[in-house]
């Protein structure tokens, strides 16, 4: 019994990380109907940026966020302005193929610079610190912090979307690009800001990913898939739904891994496919962001 409580608790905590993968993806899709296939590779890129930052400046991973987050946001803005804006339109192919190409470029670029060796960020004492919930059930301080950050990120995105002028611009552009333009919004700028925000979230997710486990240049696509599954399980266009989707995915993987280590990923994919078959609109659907 205690065993299962631990398993589910671990799943929930990892689920927070998956929700962070998903939030950036969901944001971009909500604003400009773009699925960024390079999303997972950008998470890995952020992890490497954090690695270089901690090694050259000698700071901890959490401190490195102060550098990684703004840098990724700038990359996001530039990427959208210079490349991705040119691909948006009626045709689905260009954005898909260009982001797919970007994914391959980032992966192989990282491979050329950092080799295929596994790396990890060292966070020091906090990595092993645990809190005792009750006898037999312990929670790592780091996973707990990661989960709290995930909830905070979702809450912050929710706030930006519904309580700020920027969020109003996002929602207006999502509703109708032409009307938004008539109201004086520059869509190219709005889209670039959305991508910047998305990559800021990616940066946070990348740093936590790098502290939690080993990473190498090839793990990006799997992160994209986890994020995507969380979005669909939770229901398109709902940020809190995305958090729930991440938790469902995390718990499914943890249960699978507990039964047989080879079933961890399979169990997550199965949970996704079952939801898709039984409830394709997701657990908490909402038409718009």
Partner 1 sequence: MSVRVAFASRSSHIGMGLCAAALVALAVAPLWGGRDDLQLLSEVYTYVALASLWNLLAGYAGLVSVGQQAYVGLGAYVLFAFAILAGLSPLWAIPLAGIIAAIVAMPVAGLVFRLRGHYFAIGTWIIAEVFRLLASQVSVLGGGSGISLPASLVIAIASSRQWRDFIEYWIALALVVAVLALIVLLLRSRYGLALKAIRDSELAAACNGIDVLRTKVLVYIITAAATAMVGAFIFLQRLRISPDAAFSVNDWTAFVIFITVIGGIGRIEGPIVGTIVFFALRQTLADLDTIYLLTLGVVAILVMLMAPKGIWGLIVESFGWQVFPLERSVILGDRRVVSEQKSGG
Q: What is the crossing angle of helices 2-32 and 220-234, to 10°?
A: 90
The residue among 86, 93, 289, 36 whose CA lies nearest residue 187 is 86
Q: Shortest gap between Cβ of 208 and partner 1 (angstroms)?
A: 22
Binders of partner 1 among 169-188, rule CB under 8 A?
A: none
Q: How far apart are CA 202 and CA 45, in angstroms?
A: 9
Binders of partner 1 among 43-72, rule CB under 8 A?
A: none
60 with 208: CB under 8 angstroms?
no
147 with 16: CB under 8 angstroms?
yes
Instruction: Return the number of the residue (46 or 236) whose C-beta is nearest partner 1.
Output: 236
Tell which phi-psi region holds residue 89, choosing left (phi > 0), alpha (psi between -120 and 50) or beta.
left
Q: Does 283 bind partner 1 (CB under 8 A)?
A: no
Q: Does 163 bind partner 1 (CB under 8 A)?
A: no
Q: How far apart are CA 13 and CA 11, in angstroms?
A: 5
Q: Does 95 bind partner 1 (CB under 8 A)?
A: yes
Q: Does 262 bind partner 1 (CB under 8 A)?
A: yes
CB neighbourhood size of 125 (10 A) = 7
Place of tokens 């706030």: 159
The residue among 127, 132, 117 whose CA lies nearest residue 212 is 127
Instruction: Return the number of the residue (216 or 229) whose C-beta is nearest partner 1.
Output: 229
Q: How far apart are CA 208 and CA 149, in angstroms?
A: 10
From 9-17, 34-42, 55-63, 239-247, give the range in contact with partner 1 by CB under 8 A: 34-42
According to CB under 8 A, which one of 7, 276, 285, 286 is a site residue for partner 1? 276
From 45-53, 55-63, 87-95, 170-178, give the range in contact with partner 1 by CB under 8 A: 87-95
16 with 247: CB under 8 angstroms?
yes
Q: Shortest gap between Cβ of 229 and partner 1 (angstroms)?
A: 7
According to CB under 8 A, which one of 74, 78, 92, 148 is a site residue for partner 1? 92
Instruction: Return the number of the residue (62 or 79) whose C-beta is nearest partner 1.
Output: 79
Q: Does 104 bind partner 1 (CB under 8 A)?
A: yes
Residues that bind partner 1 (CB under 8 A): 29, 33-35, 37, 83, 86-87, 92-98, 100-102, 104-105, 108-109, 111-112, 221-222, 224-225, 228-229, 232, 262, 265-266, 269-270, 272-273, 276-277, 280
């Amino acid at each position: 019994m205690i065993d299962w409580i631990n398993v589910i608790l671990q799943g929930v905590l990892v689920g927070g990380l998956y929700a962070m993968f998903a939030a950036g993806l969901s944001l971009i899709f909500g604003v400009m109907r773009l699925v960024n296939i390079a999303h997972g590779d950008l998470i890995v890129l952020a992890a490497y940026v954090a690695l270089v930052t901690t090694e050259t400046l000698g700071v901890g991973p959490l401190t490195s966020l102060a550098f990684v987050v703004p840098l990724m946001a700038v990359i996001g803005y530039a990427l959208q302005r210079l490349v991705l804006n040119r691909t948006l339109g009626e045709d689905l192919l260009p954005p898909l193929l260009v982001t797919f190409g970007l994914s391959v470029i980032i992966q192989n670029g990282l491979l050329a610079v950092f080799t295929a060796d596994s790396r990890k960020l060292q966070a020091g004492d906090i990595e092993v610190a645990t809190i005792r919930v009750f006898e037999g059930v312990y929670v790592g301080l780091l996973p707990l912090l990661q989960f709290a950050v995930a909830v905070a990120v979702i809450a912050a995105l929710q706030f930006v979307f519904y309580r700020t002028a920027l969020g109003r611009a996002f929602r207006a552009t999502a509703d109708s690009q032409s009307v938004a333009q008539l109201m004086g919004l520059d869509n190219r700028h709005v889209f670039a800001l959305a991508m910047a925000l998305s990559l800021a979230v990616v940066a946070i997710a990348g740093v936590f990913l790098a502290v939690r486990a080993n990473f190498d240049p090839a793990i990006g696509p799997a992160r994209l898939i986890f994020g995507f599954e969380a979005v669909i399980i939770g229901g398109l266009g709902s940020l809190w739904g995305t958090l729930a989707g991440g938790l469902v995915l995390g718990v499914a993987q943890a249960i699978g891994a507990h039964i047989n280590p080879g079933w961890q990923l399979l169990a997550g994919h199965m949970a996704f496919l079952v939801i898709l078959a039984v409830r394709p609109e997701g657990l908490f659907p909402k038409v718009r962001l």
